[in-house]
């Protein structure tokens, strides 16, 4: 298998399912063979969703980056296919894991359990569905009742050991009053029923940024919200896992060691620490960032966002871009990256949170 490299200390190597741990992950990419679906010439920000890449599943289950879909439906609620149909579609799309998240039911659990394959996990979740909004519960011991109201529902998910994400918070007719709830682990900021630039998703990203600025440690997800098998994996997340296990997938979703994408790859580190990390530095000390982006098509922008505002933006001349730069954070600063290509591809990283030792000391003193 051919390998290829980028300069500026960041390289991508085709190594099939293996990669260095995330603190060193700026010089590797998930070990999969890339293939790309044709007829995807749609502008980023349009109302039409771009066809996604197809990848070959990793042949090993050790440390590395794995594609998965956190949001799909079957005939157990309002989906058009069976659990087996969705699982087969996920495997064809190159996913290593798929969540079945039917509305207010766990009736498909036995079918989900039957879909496990070497190199592929089928996992159970639930889309808690009510007039106040939708939320995906993962890893919960049982069904989470929606009738009790939004905050009580979130507490119930916690009591069951669950991970709770607010779904598509600005979906027409099901708008979350996100300022009125707390305790959720994150937000589905990119819902696959809309392009990343659609108002529904733009507002979700803005909500995420606002809550991050308020000090919340929230993880951002992309999910296909597939109601037909053909939609599974578009978009998807790519998560760094120590191994392809349910526990590792859930851990990545809690920590944010993942990015959302419908094609481009992105790597992002600060002082060698990966996305999803809390980093502590001395006051006034600069932080060294590395960004690597790759797509099958020419990249149109790579954006570094700091505390919700654009810090730097680049317009690459080709399908690859490697960046090294430094920035001096304030007492509490977070950073994330967005990538777009000419063919409608989009990816976003989860944040890296940087705190100075002075800010940490003040927080301890207040306690």
| 46-71 CB burial, b ≥16 within 10 A, e <16 | eeebbbbbbbebbeebebbbbbbbbb
Q: Give this prediction's pTM.
A: 0.84
pLDDT in tens, 2-16: 332 222 223 232 222
In this structure, whether the domain defined by 22-366 belongs to CATH 1.10.510.10 is answered with no
Quick check: 115 and 125 in contact, CB under 8 A? no
Separation CA 113–CA 117 (nearest Å): 10
pLDDT in tens, 305-347: 999 999 999 999 999 999 999 999 998 999 999 999 999 999 9
Quick check: 151 and 181 in contact, CB under 8 A? yes
The reported pLDDT for the residue numbered 175 is 86
Positions in the chain whose pLDDT score sits under 50: 1-59, 362, 364-367
The reported pLDDT for the residue numbered 149 is 87
Separation CA 268–CA 303 (nearest Å): 11
| 124-134 CB burial, b ≥16 within 10 A, e <16 | bbbbbbbebbb
Quick check: 168 and 189 in contact, CB under 8 A? no
Separation CA 8–CA 59 (nearest Å): 29
Ramachandran quadrant class, 197 (left: phi over 0; alpha: psi -120 to 50; beta: rest): alpha
The reported pLDDT for the residue numbered 60 is 55
The reported pLDDT for the residue numbered 53 is 44
**In the chain, where the domains are located:** 22-366
């Amino acid at each position: 298998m051919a390998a290829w490299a980028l300069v500026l200390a960041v390289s991508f190597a085709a190594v099939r399912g293996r990669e260095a741990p995330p603190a060193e992950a700026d010089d590797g990419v998930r070990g999969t063979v890339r293939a790309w679906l044709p007829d995807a010439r749609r502008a980023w920000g349009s109302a039409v969703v771009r066809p996604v890449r197809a990848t070959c599943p990793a042949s090993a289950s050790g440390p590395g980056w794995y594609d998965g879909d956190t949001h799909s439906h079957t005939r157990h609620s309002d989906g058009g296919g069976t659990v087996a149909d969705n699982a087969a579609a996920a495997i064809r799309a190159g996913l290593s894991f798929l969540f079945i998240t039917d509305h207010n039911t766990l009736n498909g659990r036995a079918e989900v359990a039957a879909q496990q394959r070497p190199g592929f996990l089928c996992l159970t979740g639930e889309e808690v569905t009510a007039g106040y909004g939708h939320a995906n519960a993962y890893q919960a011991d049982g069904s989470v009742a929606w009738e009790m109201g939004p905050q009580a529902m979130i507490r119930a998910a916690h009591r069951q050991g669950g991970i709770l994400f607010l779904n598509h918070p600005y979906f027409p007719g099901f708008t979350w009053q996100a300022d009125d709830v707390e305790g959720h682990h994150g937000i589905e900021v990119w819902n696959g029923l809309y392009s990343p630039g659609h108002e529904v998703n733009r507002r979700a990203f803005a909500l995420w940024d606002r809550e991050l600025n308020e000090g919340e440690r929230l993880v951002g997800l992309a999910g296909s919200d597939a109601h037909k098998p053909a939609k599974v994996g578009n978009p998807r997340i790519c998560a760094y896992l120590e191994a392809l296990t349910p526990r590792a997938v859930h851990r990545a979703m809690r920590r944010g060691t993942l990015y959302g994408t419908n094609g481009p790859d992105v790597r992002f580190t600060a002082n060698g620490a990966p996305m999803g990390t809390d980093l502590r530095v001395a006051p006034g000390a600069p932080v060294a960032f590395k960004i690597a982006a790759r797509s099958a098509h020419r990249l149109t922008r790579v954006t570094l966002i700091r505390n919700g505002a654009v810090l730097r933006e680049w317009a690459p001349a080709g399908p690859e871009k490697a960046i090294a730069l430094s920035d001096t954070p304030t007492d509490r600063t977070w950073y994330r990256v967005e990538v777009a290509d000419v063919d409608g591809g989009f990816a976003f990283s989860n944040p890296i949170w940087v705190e100075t030792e002075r800010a940490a000391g003040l927080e301890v003193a207040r306690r």
